[in-house]
Amino acid sequence: MTEPDRDITAIVMRERTRLVNFIRRRIRDPDDAEDILQDVFGEFVQAYRLPAPIEQASAWLFRTARNRIIDRFRKKKEQPLTEVFASEDDADGEYRLDLALPAHDAGPEALYARTLLLKALQDALDELPPEQRDVFIAHELEGLPFKAMATQSGVALNTLLARKRYAVLHLRARLQPIYDELDL
């Protein structure tokens, strides 16, 4: 086995589990998730053998997986319940929760994980100050744009954005241990 082949094998072995978890959190169909994983690794092997080296293999793999997932959604014209990704030029990317729930029909373990996450989300929402909770629910669950909320409530747009941001930061912090425990 050549040196580049050993490097490729080591990187694939090191990153496979994290990468497959990353993809499966965003793609419901296990076959589609596996297709994306294989596409990413195929591209990685080709790119790694080019004269210009890949400096940060892990970042390259996750960026490529993210792009393949976005391509899959565009091709199928599917819209997830919430936007799975915030694009780099999306100003409100830091205001997104990116809650990935297991599919309700993916078996008893997934149903348990989904139930646990929804309960934890409800508990975390209940912990928020009412202003933050109301803005989060209005924007994320009811789909109200910030401008409409500002007009209806008379609260400044930047204030609403800040409330949503604080809500998202709290919810992320509260839900992360559950994601880690469930290995989602």
What domains can be seen in the chain, in order of their start residue?
Answer: 3-76 (1.10.1740), 102-182 (1.10.10.10)
pLDDT of residue 160: 92
Residue written as token pair 């629910």: 137
- Per-residue model confidence as pLDDT tens digits over 32-79: 889 999 999 999 988 888 877 788 888 899 888 888 887 777 665 444
Mean pLDDT of 153-161: 91
Give, rounded to a whole angstrom, the gap between the first and last alpha carbons of the chain. Answer: 34
Average pLDDT over residues 144-160: 90
pLDDT at 129: 94
pLDDT at position 78 is 40
- Model pLDDT for residues 87-140, shown as the tens digit of each residue: 333 334 445 555 566 665 667 777 777 778 778 888 888 899 999 999 988 887
Beta strand extents in 28-165 (DSSP E only): none
Residue 95 · residue 161 · CB < 8 Å: yes
pLDDT score, position 154: 92
Rounded Cα–Cα distance for residues 25 and 20 (Å): 9
How many whole angstroms separate alpha carbon 148 and alpha carbon 135? 11
pLDDT (average), residues 162-178: 88
**pLDDT the model gives residue 132:** 93
Token digits of residue 171: 């919810």
